[in-house]
Each structure stands twice: as C-alpha cells, then as structure tokens.
A and B are shown apart, each in its own frame.
Chain A
Amino acid sequence: MRKTSLNAIHQELDAQLIEFAGYEMPVKYSSINEEHLTVRESVGMFDLSHMGEFHLAGPGAVTFVDGLVTNDVAALEPGQILYTPMCYPDGGIVDDLLVYRLGDDELMLVVNASNIEKDWAWVEEHLPAEGVTAENRSYQTTLVAVQGPGAEKVLSAVTELDLSGLAFYAWTRGTVAGIDDVLVSRTGYTGEDGFEIYLPDEGGPALWRALWPHNVEAGGRAIGLGARDTLRLEMKYALYGNDIDKTTNPLEAGLKWTVKLDKGDFIGRESLLEVKRNKVSRKLICFEMLDRGIARHGAPCHDDDGAEIGAVTSGTMSPSLGKPIGLAYLKRGHTKSGREFHVEIRGKLRRAVVVKPPFYKEGSRK
C-alpha cells in the first residue's frame, strides 16, 4: 500500500486509516460529523496527496489536452484552472479532472487517485509523436487542502503570497512555509472557500506542521476522506466511481456547462452531439428522503406504479441539514424538483422528493 508524505502525521493525530485507491488514507480523525461541521463553520486541513498530477509541456500541449477533454482548455489563460470531464468515444467518462494552465505551453492535470493508472495510459495512448512531453508526478507530489471560511487566514499566516487577490479557480506560485516554488490554487471540493497546495513530497510534512498551529488557532481540525465525501455530496459535486463512470455521460450527469460542443473536435464529441440531439434519457438529480431511511449507492428507485425509474448513486445523512440526502439517476419525465418517487431500502419502498442543487446553500466558496 502506498503512503503519502504525511502518513506519520496522521498516525500522530490518531487517524483511522483505511485503504483507498491503493493508498493508506485517513477516513476520519475524530468524527465525520464533527469534521464536516468544522469545515463549514471554520476551517480544516486535508491530505489529498493520493490525487494524481500529470504535467504536460510543449508547443502542442494545449491542443492535445483540448482534444482529450470536453471543456475549453484553449480558452484558459495562464494562471487559470478549469474543471472538466474526459470522455471515451462513446461519451462515457474516463475521469473528471482539473486542468491548470501553468504557462503558454504547460499544463497540469489533477486526476482522481483511483484513476491514475487508467488516465495515464489514456494520455500516453493519445500522445502525439512530437510536440508534447508528459510526466506523471502523481507519486512524488503532496497535496494539502485548506478549506473553510477561515482558510485564507490560516494560509496567509505562512506565506507572503497575495491570497486575497487570488480568484476562485486561479493559481499562483511562491514561497509557503519557507518552501520555495509551491503551487497554490483557490479550488476545492467542499463548497467553502479554500486552497489546494501542491509541492514535492520532501516538503509535505514541513508544510503541514507550519500550517497546523494556525489551523488549530482558527478552530480547525484535520479532515478525513469521510467528511470530504459528505461535504462534496451536499454540493452535488460528482464522485467518480459513484455518480459518474464509463457508463454515464457528462450531459446526463448535469455537467453540461463543462461540455463545449462548439470548441472543435475532442474525444466523445460525436456521441455527445447525438445525446444532445436525442435529449438525455436520464438525469442525475438531488433528492431528500421524506420517509425515514438512508438511501445508499445502488438502491433502486420506483415511480408510484412500481416501475423502476432509476437508481441511487450516492447517499448519506447530511451533517449540515440533519436529514438523509442523495443523488440518483432518474428517467426523463421524473426529474423535476418537487416530484416524489420511491427508493427501495432493505426491501421497503420509501418516499423521496427531487430537490434543487446544491443541498447546502450557505457555502463560503468565492
């Protein structure tokens, strides 16, 4: 099992460690609920070093990546970041990722930990014979996220970088905690203001230890993958492997805003044009339970006549709302907010209702 550069720190903090995507990762340090609410109310620090980072450079890099993903990479200025799905020719999703434009001819792709090897093979398979070099730095890179309304205060205690001037989905680079050339972006997966900090593994522990006292002083905690999941779910941020995968396309997943069918050719464009012409057959919707019960991944959904109309992809007890929430793909015609349906939980049909995203509306996200 791989360990991140912060593994010893997790042990010191008495984390409950689990295997996730081949890494030993903290699922929680105290309680998922407490960690979740701490990020909503103040601030928390996450080790996300399991995520993958690919660096692409060369005169053909931007054109190459633009042809791999659905969003418009060519329109991205150096200093900016975008979120995008990457599709198969049939429109199914290889992965969802962040693209950082590091320079005119330089990009960084940040991919899901569980997809690093698959994505890397996909990139290599499509890499042109010349004009682009690609490097997989996933296993040498530490990623620390600081998320919550107090994030800027915590991070600004250890860097002179102009954080207040850093826009959402923009990055900057400089000295952080005495370490040179650290990449800092105003991004996250929580719905709160926050930063993601990338640096070589050697500096990981020093960065964490420099941030930690400021995090604690701001009322912060260390946050595990358990709360990361509930935080993202309250925002309807899709999780690869749960809500999106090779059998789902970005249009039905509610990611239409990331699919630029007019930007020029990219892998999956023809299929997605076809999906658009025929309208999607199902949609990923948000729901709340009306009857008691927590609907989990895979739970079948039925209409009033008992016909199966879809299935749950994610579900939990929302720590912020105090009620069970979830995401489900439902057939067209059943997806309007306010519409009721039934979820089968342990053999019993229970009422649920489609609601508008996000579940949590008070986030501090800039």
Chain B
Amino acid sequence: MSYPDDRKYADSHEWVLAEGETALIGISAYAAGELGELVYIELPEVGEEIEVGAEFGVVESVKAASDLVAPVSGEIVEVNDAAVDEPKTVNDDPYDAGWLVRVRLSDPGELDDLHNAGSYEEMIGED
C-alpha cells in the first residue's frame, strides 16, 4: 500500500491535501483496505462546518460502519458526489478520484498536528 508524501494523515486514518486556502480530505489506503469494499458514504453538505476531532460523516462496508473524524476544521466547500454515488471509488483510488470533501481551512496550523507519510506508515505498522 502507498502513502503519498504530498499530504498529511490523521491517527483516525483520514488524509488532508492542502491546496492554498482549501484542503481535500479522504481516507488512507490502509483504512479503505481494513474496511473492505465500501457500499455507503454519508458526507456533510456544502456550507456545513466541521471541527477537528469531531465526527463529520460515515463510510460503511457490508459488515461495518466507520465514522469519519475531521482531521482539520473548516467549512465544507465541495463534496465528492461521484464517490457518494459509487463508494467503491474510494477503495479503487483512495488518494485521487476517491477524495471525500474539500474544506476551507479555518486554522491551517492544525495541519502541523498531523502525521507526515513516514510517521503515519510507522504508526499503522505498529497496529
């Protein structure tokens, strides 16, 4: 499994790719693999605020539901409807086509509290 080093990772397995004032959020290949084939995704609507550390949606496989935990705070500015319509996209391409939401960062400093690819990989290695 790969963990691109252009982005940050949370303990709860979401990734954040900062692009100026906004950032994309998705889940790591590890998380997608552990959950198995996703069959349902629920995301906030554009305009809603998410808060770091708080649940903001859910991804579900046939067997299990797993909360999405916000790795950063901000306002939702875009939602990946294609992934909601076809959840398996997240398994097939977790870092690109399988992104989940785009947020306007309310505190870019929160990014510093997240893992880089190397320390994230180390963390899941210890799981």
Report A's interface with B, CB cutoff 8 A.
16, 27-28, 31-34, 36, 226, 229-230, 292-294, 296, 316-317, 319, 324, 346
Contact = CB atoms under 8 A, between A and B. Distances in A.
Contact of B65 (A33, A230, A294): A294
Contacts of A34: 37
Interface of B: 36-37, 39-40, 42, 58, 60-63, 65
B62 A324 contact: no
B96 to A, nearest CB: 21
Given A32-B36, A294-B40, 16 more contacts: A27-B63, A31-B36, A32-B61, A32-B62, A33-B39, A292-B40, A292-B42, A293-B40, A293-B42, A294-B65, A296-B65, A316-B63, A317-B39, A317-B62, A324-B40, A346-B58
A53 B55 CA distance: 45
A32 B60 CA distance: 13
A90 B63 CA distance: 33
Given A293-B42, A294-B65, A317 B36 contact: no
A316 B42 contact: no
A80 B109 CA distance: 71
30 contacts: A16-B36, A27-B63, A28-B36, A31-B36, A32-B37, A32-B62, A32-B63, A33-B39, A33-B62, A34-B37, A226-B36, A226-B62, A229-B63, A230-B62, A292-B40, A292-B42, A293-B40, A293-B42, A294-B40, A294-B60, A294-B65, A296-B65, A316-B62, A316-B63, A317-B39, A317-B40, A317-B60, A317-B62, A324-B40, A346-B58
A27 B37 CA distance: 13
A346 B66 CA distance: 11
Contacts of B60: 294, 317
A324 B42 CA distance: 13
Contacts of B63: 27, 32, 226, 229, 316
A317 B86 CA distance: 13
Nearest to A296: B65
Contact of B37 (A33, A294, A324, A346): A33
A226 B63 CA distance: 7
A346 B65 CA distance: 11
Contacts of A317: 39-40, 60, 62
Nearest to A230: B62
Nearest to A348: B42
Nearest to B37: A31
Contacts of A28: 36
A322 to B, nearest CB: 9
Nearest to A18: B63
- What 5 pairs across the A-B complex have the smallest Cβ distances? A317-B39, A32-B62, A31-B37, A294-B40, A294-B60
B17 to A, nearest CB: 26
A319 B42 contact: no
